[in-house]
Chains A and B, each alone.
Chain A
Amino acid sequence: MDELKKTCLHDRHVALGAQMSPFGGFDMPIQYEGIVEEHNAVRNSCGVFDVSHMGEVEIIGSDAEKYVNHIFSNDVSVLADGAILYGMMLNPNGGVVDDLLVYKKDINRFFLVINASNIDKDFEWICQNANGYDVEIKHLSEMLSELAVQGPKAESVMEEVLDIRCKELAFYTFKGTSYNGKDILVSRTGYTGEDGFEIYASSDIICDMWDSLMASKRVAPCGLGCRDTLRFEVGLPLYGDELGDDISPVEAGLSMFVKLDKPEFIGREVVAKQKAEGAPRKLIGLELLDRAIARHGYEVLNDADEVVGYVTTGYRGISVDKSIAAALVDTEYAVKDSELKVRIRRKTYPARVVAKKFYKKSYKK
């Protein structure tokens, strides 16, 4: 195992007494005060996350648009400058190499934000598929740090504490601006189901911003623990749980981010077939009728106690006070309101099939 990487804010996390744990090759804060408190801060007020572990790649050149569309499931040709699209890079089997955000700076310049755990795999993938395209691929992960400011009060915190104008910034758009005279990139995006912003900048700027946010006392430092409970409740997938090399976006219920009107992209054949004929598996929501909690990897069973799938994520919901889970099951069992069972240690527990969005998003659109 390679040595754990540290973000520029690592010392600050430790000084705040954060519980640190490895994630995606980085030593990251899981929680400071507690997952529940931090989760509620984001739902009700404002929280800040160090997400500097995320990777960034820029694709530049006269074939940039064509190339991004070749490796990306969504369609960037319809994207305005300054706008962002969510989608996936697929392998030829229709599995997901990674899910990512694509920022269009202009027709010759795209900025890709990828998962920490996939940085090396993705960069290799992006490079190896670029033959014949006039593009330059820049790996920016080591140069850029990132903060996510999330919650209903995120806009006022951005404006008043960081003095960054963002009221006019629409959902899933971004702008370049400056902070202390240095270039930064700000987008109205996030991974919590709440309104919020993500800021990309060099590490000295990110450290300054973090210090201002902490000094203001208007923002709770939030760890990856509540990032997971927040994203899960609103049905956002996590690579490694709901997405993987062997899970297609159609199975994961993300068909809307796969644009088949595009003539060509890697993995298109498989996902086109799945969209037309149905996928073998489907991601569902489960509500357990007991207090027991279904965790990642636990078996999902049918009436006859046959294994028909597995749990991808499960929690005692925080905003939704129930034992809830997402599970990937054989499609015939993805029937809303039907009953399945989950094996939890020595016993099985009944669970009802429900929508996998357990809590309503409050984006500012």
Chain B
Amino acid sequence: MSKTYYSPSHEYITVDGNIGYIGISDYAQKALGNVVYVDMPEQGDDIEAGEDFGAVESVKAASDLIAPVSGAVLDINEQLIDNPRLINEDPMANWIIKVEISDPSQLSELMDEEAYKAHCEAEQH
């Protein structure tokens, strides 16, 4: 059974065992608007919880991607190279990187769906 967690900076991670799929939330894609470029790490790169591992660029601005957990990049979503707008169309289906989670205890620092909803509402004032 997979479970999805969210970070305060609007990344999600859908976890299945020690494998995680990281992308940006629907709230984040809406706030960004038309995504025109996704800057992704390379397969084999390590990511560090709390540090940026790439960026999503809309017409307006670049928004750093912050790793919700530490781990190793197993795969990147290559479809996003030529078709970054997939993130607008379905951000949950179109994860950005697939990682092997090195410290599953870091997940407890993240929000579940309900807590994240409240977080977004608070952000909208």
Residues of B within 8 A of A182 (CB): none
Chain A interface helix/strand/loop/mixed: mixed
Pairwise interchain contact B62-A295, C-beta atoms closer than 8 A: yes
* Per-position binary interface string of chain B over residues 36-76, scored 1 when its CB falls under 8 Å from any chain A CB and 0 otherwise: 11010000000000001011010111101000000000000
Q: Is the C-beta of B14 less than 8 angstroms from some C-beta in chain A?
A: no
Q: Is the CB of A291 within 8 A of B37?
A: yes
Is A289 at the interface (CB under 8 A from chain B)?
no
CB closest chain-A residue, reference B81:
A291
Q: Which residues of chain A are within 8 angstroms of B62 by Cβ–Cβ distance?
A: 293, 295
> A318 contacts B59, CB within 8 Å?
yes
A240 at the interface (CB under 8 A from B): no
How many residues on B have C-beta within 8 angstroms of the other chain's C-beta atoms? 17
Number of A-B contacts (CB under 8 A): 43
Q: What is the CB-to-nearest-CB distance from A76 to chain B, in angstroms, rounded to a whole number?
A: 37
Q: A30, A36, A316, A318: which contacts B57 (Cβ < 8 A)?
A: A316
CB atoms of A293 and B34 under 8 A apart:
no
| Choice from B39, B59, B81, B84 contacting A344 with Cβ under 8 Å | B39
B61 & A316 in contact (Cβ 8 Å cutoff): no
Chain A hits for B31, CB < 8 A: 19
- Tell me if B104 counts as interface (CB < 8 A to partner A): no
Chain B 76-108: CB-based contact to A (< 8 A → 1; otherwise 0): 000001001000000000000000000000000
**In the complex, which of the residues B33, B37, B81 contacts A31, with contact meaning CB atoms closer than 8 Å?**
B33
Closest to A21 in B: B60
User: Is A34 an interface residue when CB atoms closer than 8 A count as contact?
Assistant: yes
Residue A74 is within 8 A (CB to CB) of chain B in the complex: no
Rounded to whole angstroms, the CA-CA distance of A161 and B86 in the bound complex is 39
Q: How far is the CA of A36 from the CA of B34 in the complex (A)?
A: 8
Q: Which residues of A contact B36 (CB under 8 A)?
A: 291, 293, 316
Q: Are A225 and B60 in contact (CB under 8 A)?
A: yes
Q: 25 A-B Cβ contacts within 8 A?
A: A19-B31, A19-B33, A31-B33, A31-B60, A34-B33, A34-B34, A35-B59, A36-B34, A225-B33, A225-B59, A225-B60, A229-B59, A291-B36, A291-B37, A291-B84, A292-B37, A292-B39, A295-B62, A315-B59, A316-B36, A316-B37, A316-B59, A318-B59, A323-B37, A345-B52
**Could you list which residues of chain A lie within 8 angstroms of chain B, going by C-beta atoms?**
19, 30-31, 34-36, 225, 229, 291-293, 295, 315-316, 318, 323, 344-345
